[in-house]
């Protein structure tokens, strides 16, 4: 399994600049498949080559333009203050079922981007040495090494690295199980930083992953003051040999876009959204304990089913295209569609940037999304409120208090208790800022966004209720002004 069977688009620069039009074309031509690959045209982002060189630790392109040099300088400054917290992926097979694995994600010490790159490069060299020794052993025995057989013929021969990609894919699926004599892979995923940050929103023909102007959701979250890494801003992913990502759908059933800045290829496998519920039942059959603890356990990304097991499952793949593959090379973009399960692995060191986004068509499937209740950082979006905001604007964010039933008269307040002499007076009487809400300003009347850290901390949203602060979008102007 080392070839591209998903739809691949190679738009012209004019077609590429029309984000919405190209996405509609991708959805139409994919015919319900889970992912598409887009190869951007030359010139879509002038700083792309210089940024890639910076990420790879390579010399900058000769005769770089002013725009390329500026992009490389910004990338160098950003990477210098960016830390990577790798996760070691320790695979076990407690049930003994072939192709079904538990994954323990063990946080590793923080390191710099350069430090992680050096570690991954050493791992690449070790893998290359082991592969060469294996090929030599097989050749001495008069047979071909694994990964160099019939599968190579299925890879398009217009790629010079096709045979190497096939060999690495075969080696990955052969060694993914436990006790295979190789160290556990490490993945520098979910790094809260962006190579595109600071670029004008028009940079990259509207494909700026840090601030895509075509995303309908970003202005809504900005109005609420909600900050969601990977949703309203881009995140970086630093791959290493055999580092993988388990089957999952995006939070809130959003779209996602992944751009591979540089480095080794990334292999993807995706299911059609129509097969998602069947796949969830299959996963639940293999991991009943995990499912009993959390109905959305696949969002934890600590279980893994191989595509071979999925393909062999009875009744899961009914039509051609129910599962597609993709080999993403440096410079390629991969778009995943809402409610489409996908997984994959990295062939070596690489650097990718990813973000979620929404379109006018997202809300219908976003309303059906479920969320994990045992992880406080799970993304939750009030889709009904988002749709109301699209129709009515900021007026939809203001709460109008309705009179209570029974006439609307306010019941009399309880009499105030007399102050005991010697006790401190209220803060406002001592000249300190006001600490109770006016209940009249827009901040007091706004609804909780349900997405900021204070909302996610609340008990009703499954949080630990430790912060005990109001939503960032419900700031009382009287308190802020010290009235």
Within-domain flag for 417: no
On whether the CB atoms of residues 214 and 357 are closer than 8 A, the answer is: yes
Query: Is 28 domain-assigned?
Result: yes
Q: How many domains does the chain have?
A: 1
By annotation, the residues acting in catalysis are 230, 237, 248, 250, 342, 354
Q: Count Cα neighbours of 391 within 13 Å in the Cβ-side half-sphere.
A: 7
Residue 179 is predicted with a pLDDT of: 58
Write down the pLDDT at residue 65. 87
Gap between the Cα atoms of 122 and 183, Å rounded: 12
Question: What pLDDT, on a 0 to 100 scale, did the predictor assign at position 430?
Answer: 43
Q: Which CATH number characterizes residue 300's domain?
A: 2.60.120.650
CA angle 140, 144, 146 (to 5 degrees): 120
For residue 226, count other CB atoms closer than 10 A to its CB: 23
Note the helical H segments in 176-312: 217-224, 276-286, 288-293, 307-312
The pLDDT score that the predictor gives to residue 35 is 96
End-to-end CA distance of the chain: 66
Q: How far apart are CA 279 and CA 311, in angstroms?
A: 11
d(CA 360, CA 16): 19
Given this model, what pLDDT does residue 8 score? 96
Q: What range defines the domain where residue 265 resides?
A: 7-369
* 432: helix, strand or coil: coil
Per-residue confidence (pLDDT) for residue 177, from 0 to 100: 80
Indicate whether 428 belongs to any domain. Answer: no
Comparing CA positions, the residue from 34, 355, 2 lying closest to residue 26 is 34
In a domain, 473, yes or no: no
- The pLDDT, as a whole number, for residue 406 is 53
Task: Tell me whether residue 377 is in a domain.
Answer: no
For every one of its 483 residues, what pLDDT tens digit does the chain have, with 9 covering 90 and above? 668 999 999 999 999 988 889 999 999 999 889 999 999 998 888 889 999 999 999 998 888 888 888 889 989 999 999 999 999 999 999 888 899 999 999 999 999 999 999 999 999 999 888 878 877 877 777 665 544 444 444 445 467 788 888 888 988 998 888 756 678 999 999 999 988 865 554 444 457 676 665 577 878 887 887 777 778 778 999 999 999 999 999 999 999 999 999 999 999 999 999 999 999 999 999 999 999 999 899 999 999 999 999 999 988 998 888 999 999 999 999 999 999 999 999 999 999 999 998 888 898 999 999 888 777 667 788 888 888 888 888 887 775 555 555 555 555 555 555 555 554 444 444 444 445 677 667 667 676 766 677 777 776 666 777 777 887 777 776 655 444
What the block records as the tokens of 190 is 């979910």
The verdict on residue 419 lying in a domain is: no
**Buried/exposed 235-260: b ≥16 CB within 10 Å, e otherwise:** bbbbbbbbbbbbbebbbbbbbbbbbb
Selection from 280, 288, 278, 291 nearest residue 247 by Cα: 280
193 falls within a domain:
yes
Q: How far apart are CA 351 and CA 194, in angstroms?
A: 11
Whether 163 contacts 182, CB under 8 Å: no
Does residue 49 form part of some domain? yes
């Amino acid at each position: 399994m080392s070839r591209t069977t998903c739809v691949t688009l190679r738009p012209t620069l004019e077609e590429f600049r029309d984000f919405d039009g190209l996405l509609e074309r991708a959805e139409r031509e994919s015919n319900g498949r889970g992912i598409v690959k887009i190869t951007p045209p030359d010139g879509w982002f002038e700083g792309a080559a210089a940024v890639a060189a910076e990420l790879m630790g390579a010399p900058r392109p000769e005769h770089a333009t002013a725009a390329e040099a500026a992009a490389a300088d910004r990338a160098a400054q950003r990477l210098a203050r960016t830390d990577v917290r790798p996760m070691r992926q320790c695979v076990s097979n407690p049930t003994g079922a072939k192709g079904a694995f538990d994954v323990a994600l063990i946080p590793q010490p923080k390191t710099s981007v350069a430090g992680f790159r050096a570690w991954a490069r050493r791992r690449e060299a070790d893998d290359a040495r082991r592969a060469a020794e294996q090929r030599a052993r097989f050749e001495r025995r008069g047979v071909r090494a694994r990964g160099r057989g019939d599968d190579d013929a299925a890879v398009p021969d217009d790629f010079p690295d096709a045979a190497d990609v096939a060999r690495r894919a075969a080696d990955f699926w052969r060694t993914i199980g436990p006790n295979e004599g190789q160290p556990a892979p490490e993945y520098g995923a979910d790094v809260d930083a962006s190579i595109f940050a600071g670029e004008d929103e028009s940079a990259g023909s509207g494909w700026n992953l840090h601030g895509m102007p075509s995303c309908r959701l970003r202005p809504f979250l900005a109005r609420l003051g909600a900050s969601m890494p990977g949703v309203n801003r881009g995140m970086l992913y630093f791959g290493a040999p055999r580092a993988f990502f388990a089957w999952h759908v995006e939070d809130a059933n959003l779209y996602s876009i992944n751009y591979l800045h540089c480095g080794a290829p990334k292999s993807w496998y995706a299911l059609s959204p129509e097969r998602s519920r069947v796949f969830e039942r299959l996963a639940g059959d293999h991991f009943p304990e995990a499912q009993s603890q959390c109905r959305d356990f696949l969002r934890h990304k600590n279980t893994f089913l191989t595509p071979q097991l999925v393909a062999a499952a009875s009744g899961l793949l009914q039509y051609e295209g129910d599962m597609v593959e993709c080999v993403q090379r440096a410079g390629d973009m991969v778009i995943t569609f809402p409610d489409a399960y996908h997984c994959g692995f990295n062939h070596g060191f690489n650097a990718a940037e990813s973000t979620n986004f929404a379109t006018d068509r997202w809300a219908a499937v976003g309303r059906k999304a479920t969320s994990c209740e045992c992880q406080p950082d799970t993304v939750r979006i009030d889709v009904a409120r988002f749709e109301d905001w699209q129709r009515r604007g900021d007026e939809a964010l203001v709460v109008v208090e309705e009179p209570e039933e029974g006439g609307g008269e306010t019941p009399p307040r309880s009499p105030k208790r007399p102050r005991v002499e010697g006790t401190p007076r209220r803060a406002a009487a001592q000249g300190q800022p006001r600490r109770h809400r006016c209940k009249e300003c827009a901040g007091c009347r706004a609804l909780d966004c349900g997405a900021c850290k204070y909302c996610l901390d609340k008990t009703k949203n499954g949080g630990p209720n430790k912060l005990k602060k109001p939503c960032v979008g419900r700031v009382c102007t009287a308190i802020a002004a010290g009235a």
